[in-house]
């Protein structure tokens, strides 16, 4: 099962390497600092959904493990 997961992640990583046309145009026309700023902004926007889902899963697991009286 793990091998199938690793293989599928490798395949989808190659497909996910594409960029939207706007992002690609900004990076190609700008300098290195603009590309770094764009990358930082994408990472900043990506962190919060993962934090919210992680917090939700934490509280669900905490609630499920709570002993019932």
Output 13 or 7, whichever has higher pLDDT.
7
What percentage of the chain has pLDDT greater than the value 90? 22
| C-alpha closest to that of 25 among 11, 35, 36 | 35
Question: Range of 39's domain?
Answer: 2-65
Output 11 or 65, whichever has higher pLDDT.
65
Backbone angles phi, psi at 19, to 5 degrees: -125, 160
Into how many domains does the chain fold?
1
pTM of the model: 0.49
Q: What is the dihedral of CA 32, 22, 49, 1, to 10 degrees?
A: -90
Mean of per-residue pLDDT scores for the chain: 79
Mean pLDDT for 41-58 is 90
Write out pLDDT tens, residues 15-29: 555 556 677 777 778
């Amino acid at each position: 099962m793990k091998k199938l997961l690793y293989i599928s992640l490798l395949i989808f990583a190659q497909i996910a390497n594409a960029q939207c046309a706007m992002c690609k145009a900004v990076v190609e026309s700008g300098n290195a600092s603009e590309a770094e700023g764009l990358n930082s902004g994408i990472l900043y926007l990506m962190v919060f959904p993962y934090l919210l889902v992680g917090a939700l899963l934490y509280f669900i697991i905490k609630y499920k493990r709570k002993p019932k009286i």
